[in-house]
Chain A
Amino acid sequence: MPMPYTLTRGPLLTLVENALNPQNPAEEDRREVLLTELRQGTSLPDLVTAVQQPFAGLAVPKAPLHQRLRDDWIGQGANGPPSEPTGYWVGYQGDVEGVLRQGLIRTLEVSMGVSHDAPPDTATRSWPVQVHWKCPNPWFEVWVSWRRHDDTPRGGQVDMLIATPPDKANRLTTRPQFPPAAADRAASALNPLPEPTDATDSQGMWLVAHEHHRLDVADERVVARGGRRLDIQTGRVNTGGLQPLPAGEWLVPTPSTMWVDEGEVITVEPPSHAGGADTRRNNLP
């Protein structure tokens, strides 16, 4: 699944949300089993494979989920060879499965009103859970936040934010109005996404940003002592180490890439195949 935006919901996380948001007593029982299995250390790929449910009309990866989770996300974790990244993450080594497992446990416990490690059948509520994937982040982490709305069993909301390092497979779109086309609609990428106007949908995810994010490099030309900036030079033509400069006058590259935003501020609603929310999801009341 492409992840062209820095925040994603989309089909994969819908699988997770479905497991966290039971709609009937049978699904509630499965959720209790899920919490127990998570606490007991059952392999996450095995768990996700077991709990996934069909949901019509949504694009899900053809590659086996089990394999994607095991190889791409979890990899060999912190036990991998020194200096080698975990899974398909760039510049990161750590216990992805451990963080993800604890994040899911904590999310379920808050949603169900179950104290940490208390029996799942002591659940006092069933707050809906919303899951997002934020990428890139310097390291792998999960944020769990919540808010009570009223005293009814479903009177609250839990948000689970999975923040991950950059990965090797996905590419960001630098023009938010032009996500990659869905596989069956190759020509749609030529047309910009329309600006959403209907604020009454049952769920949604809108992005407000500039029309274009442009990657830039820049070198500062400075007087070394005191650091006074004389000029800033951008682009490949002017940037380089071999420029002849007087003593004490340096060309210092900015230490990271610089994103320059251009164009109007626009609002778009990313489609589900590109990680957006989808009103057809079956976990809505």
Chain B
Amino acid sequence: MPVPENAVELVQEDVESVFREAFPDGTFEVPQPFDELAPIGSDDVAVVPWYWRGTHTGDFREVRRTGLPVEFAGTTFLTGSGDDLRFHRIVDWHSLYRQLGLMMVCRRPRTAETEEADDADLAAVQPEA
């Protein structure tokens, strides 16, 4: 099943569908050196690497608008055809959320794997005479 020749436009519409509301001034771009090559792929799959740049002036899921500029990358693999088109997306969500100022670090939770390290820490603790 050959993928459509307008795969780039389809991917752009798909990306805009999820980000346009939160980033009303956002732009979709297929970066160099892929801009002239896209869609890349074979008869069965098209690959479209892309960037989204915009200002976070609308809410994105539970993330309230911050007014911050963001730029992040994604790649969409397109399979199928006609009404059975399927989008397989790899998005740099971490970069997006980091630029929105969300705290992405937290102390590691205590697990079986950390027990040994904790024991080593505790070895440095002893009641004073």
Binding site for B on A (CB under 8 A): 1-2, 4, 54-63, 90-91, 135-136, 138, 166-167, 169-175, 180-184, 186, 213, 215, 220, 222, 224-225, 227, 241-257, 273
Contacts and interface: CB of A to CB of B under 8 A. Distances in A.
Given A242-B90, A245-B87, A250-B89, A61 B124 contact: yes
A204 B120 CA distance: 28
A262 to B, nearest CB: 14
Contacts of B106: 136, 166, 257
A185 to B, nearest CB: 10
Given A63-B124, A167-B107, A250 B18 contact: yes
Given A241-B91, A246-B87, A174 B126 contact: no
Contacts of A242: 77, 88-90
B127 A54 contact: no
B40 interface: no
B110 A172 contact: yes
Given A91-B105, A173-B110, A250-B89, 17 more contacts: A2-B121, A2-B125, A56-B128, A60-B128, A166-B105, A169-B121, A170-B107, A184-B127, A220-B61, A222-B18, A242-B77, A243-B88, A244-B88, A246-B86, A250-B18, A254-B61, A273-B125
A247 B128 contact: no
Interface string B83-116: 0011111110100010010111111111100100
A62 B121 CA distance: 11
6 contacts: A59-B128, A91-B105, A181-B122, A224-B17, A242-B89, A247-B85
Given A56-B128, A255-B62, A247 B14 contact: yes
Interface of B: 10, 13-14, 17-18, 21, 61-63, 77, 79-80, 85-91, 93, 97, 100, 102-111, 114, 117-119, 121-128
Contact of A227 (B10, B61, B89): B61
A182 B88 CA distance: 50
B87 A255 contact: no
Contact of A256 (B103, B119, B125): B103
Of B111, B122, B126, the most chain A CB neighbours within 10 A belong to B122
Nearest to A179: B110
B87 A171 contact: no
B106 to A, nearest CB: 6
B126 A247 contact: no
A60 B119 CA distance: 16
Contacts of A59: 125-128
Contacts of A170: 107
Contacts of A215: 109
Contact of B61 (A58, A63, A252, A257): A252
